[in-house]
Amino acid sequence: MAIEVKNVSYTYSPKSANAYEALTNVSITINDGDYLTIVGQTGSGKSTLVQMLNGLEMPTLGEIFVDGVSTQLLCKKNKTTKELRKKVGLVFQFPEYQLFEETIVKDVAFGLINNGMDKEQAYEKAKEYILKVGLNESYFNRSPFELSGGERRKVAIAGILALEPKTLVLDEPTAGLDPRSKKEILEFIKSLHEEGRTVILVTHNMEIVRKYANHVVLIDGGKIFFDGTPDEFFLDEGVCKIIEIPEVISFARSLAKKGIDIDINRVRDVKTLINQIEEWRSKHE
């Protein structure tokens, strides 16, 4: 088991008049090799949760274990959270806004140098990861500020990937991108998952849950509302009251409601749905 969140609560500005509990008694077990999607409405506490996974925030109550070691302990021992950050890499929402160096190579190497790697080595590694996110050599010495939004985001992701974390956490990696860039980023994340990394992805996009994830957690009002597989998720009556489920699922549901035999578990996209309609039709002919 890679990460275990145990009875975690988080309160903003505790003890003050405007104390506000963002998370209440949250427990999740994330296994090695999981593709976990964390969903929920804005302000539900999901961003706070992922920030705790790499030690940017510490739980007010409860504990988080990464590879069996509590995050509090990891951070206390080294005075810093570097150890933890090597295990869990976090890509923030709109990460393109964190770029600042003159060249892309330098920017990607920033984290490596912070972790004590020497410059030459760090630049080499940075180049490797720039290529990996799908940008070519011509980008190495360009300024990050002249790139398009989608390209900048890839550079930012490369900056975290270069740290080679075993678990990669991404907070809404597709927000604000057009369909093409969205697809590129998602396919890339999928390839990282296939390489054996644990992926944790915060999203509003239910298509991602349907297409890529094997584990989904829904947070509502700071509490876990659902924890299970995507199949169970889309069958859950309560879930669709909180969030919008993909059109293909809701269409499959209305077909099923009419009395057409559709197994929602097997609906992935339009094609798989149509196959089931054909099956049903041939049974009735």
Partner 1 sequence: MKKIEVKNLEFSYSNQEPVVKGLSFEIEAGEYVSILGHNGSGKSTLAKLLMGLLNPKAGEIFIDGEQLTQTSVSTIRNKMSLVFQNPDNQFIGSTVEEDVAFGLENRQFPTEQMHDVIFKFLKLVGMDRYFDKEPSNLSGGQKQRVAIAGALALNPEILILDEATSMLDPKGRKEINELIYSLRKENPKLTIISITHDVNEALFSDKIILVSSGKVSKVGTPEEIFSNEDLILKNKLTTPFIYKVRKALGEIGYDVDNSKSLDEMVDIVWQSK
Partner 2 sequence: MSSMVFGRYVSEKTFVHKLDPRTKIFLLILFSVAVFLHFTNNITSLLMAVGYLVLVFVLMICSKINILELFKSLSMMWFMMLFLLIIYIITPVPEPNLPVAFTIFGKVVYWDVFVNMGYIIVRLMLLISLAMVLTSSTRPMDMTYAFEWYMHPLKVIRFPVHEIAMTLSIALRFIPTLLDETNRIMKAQESRGADFKHGSIFKRFGAIISLIIPLFVSAIERSEQLANAMEARGYDPKAKRSRYKVLKGSWRDIVAIVFSLLIFGGIVFLLVYDSHVAQIVFF
Which pair of structure tokens corresponds to residue 41? 């409405």
Pick 71 or 205: Cβ nearer partner 1: 205
Shortest Å, Cβ 186 to partner 2: 21
Nearer to partner 2, 17 or 136 (CB): 17
- Angle in degrees, 0-180, between the axes of helices 149-161 and 119-132, rounded to the nearest 10: 130
DSSP state of 203: -
Strand, helix or coil for residue 250: helix
For the bound state, the minimum distance from the C-beta of residue 176 to partner 1, rounded and expressed in Å, comes to 6
DSSP string, 43-102: TSSHHHHHHHHTTSS--SEEEEEETTEEHHHHHHHHSSSHHHHHHEEEEPSSGGGG--SS
Distance (Å, whole) CA 269 – CA 233: 16
Site for partner 1, residues 22 to 61, rule: CB under 8 A: 41-43
CB-wise, 94 or 140, nearer to partner 1?
94
Identify which of residues 192 and 243 has a Cβ nearer to partner 1 in the complex: 243
CA distance 195 to 60: 34
Compute the distance between CA of residue 153 and CA of residue 175 in angstroms, rounded to an integer: 10
Question: C-beta of 138: minimal distance to partner 2 in Å?
Answer: 23
Which positions touch partner 2 (CB under 8 A)? 12-13, 16-18, 51, 54, 56, 79-82, 85, 89-92, 95, 97-100, 110-112, 114-115, 145, 159-160, 163
To partner 2, the closest distance from the beta carbon of 231 in angstroms equals 32
Select the residue interacting with partner 1 from 1, 61, 121, 176 (CB under 8 A).
176
Residues in the site for partner 1, rule: CB under 8 A?
A: 41-43, 148-150, 175-181, 204, 243-244, 247-248, 251, 254-255, 258-260, 270-271, 273-274, 277-278, 281, 284
